[in-house]
Amino acid sequence: MIEHMVFRYYSHLLTRVEGEVTEIFTARRKDEYSKRGGIEQRLRLMRGNLDDQHMNAILDRGPENFYRDTAERVMRERGQEVVLNRCPKCNRIVRTPKARQCMWCLHDWY
């Protein structure tokens, strides 16, 4: 859930490379459902990072490792800027930084 929060609401805290890798993983997911395909290839050609060795090494590790490692880095280096809104009843992280209802225990605090 922390990974989701970081990438959904705090993407401005990512580095340039992390942002580009995120776009490539998103393009790969879109390619799975696209009839034309090639979205990742076109994106990388536009960005000029087709042969970026550092980026390719990150991509080779897979999306799960990337999202986990990046969220951990953001929390370690800039965690004071990330609001992890927690339910006052069950203490779980709620859906958005401004949510006032818990999707886990259904408690609300309007």
- Residue appearing with tokens 């609300």: 108
Residue 50 pLDDT > 80, yes or no?
no
**In the beta sheet, which residues pair with residue 101?**
108
CA distances 102 to 14, 74, 108, Å, are 27, 24, 6
Instruction: Provide the terminal-to-terminal Cα distance of the chain, rounded to the nearest Å.
Output: 22
Q: Residue 34: pLDDT band by 50, 70, 90 thresholds?
A: confident
pTM for the full predicted model = 0.82
Residue 4 pLDDT > 90, yes or no?
yes
Q: Residue 6: pLDDT band by 50, 70, 90 thresholds?
A: very high
Q: Residue 30: pLDDT band by 50, 70, 90 thresholds?
A: confident
Q: What angle do CA 29, 3, 45 make, to 5 degrees?
A: 40
Q: Residue 31: pLDDT band by 50, 70, 90 thresholds?
A: confident
pLDDT exceeding 90 applies to what percent of the chain? 67
Q: Residue 44: pLDDT band by 50, 70, 90 thresholds?
A: confident
Q: How far is residue 92's CA from residue 52's CA, in Å, rounded to a whole number?
A: 39
Q: Residue 80: pLDDT band by 50, 70, 90 thresholds?
A: very high
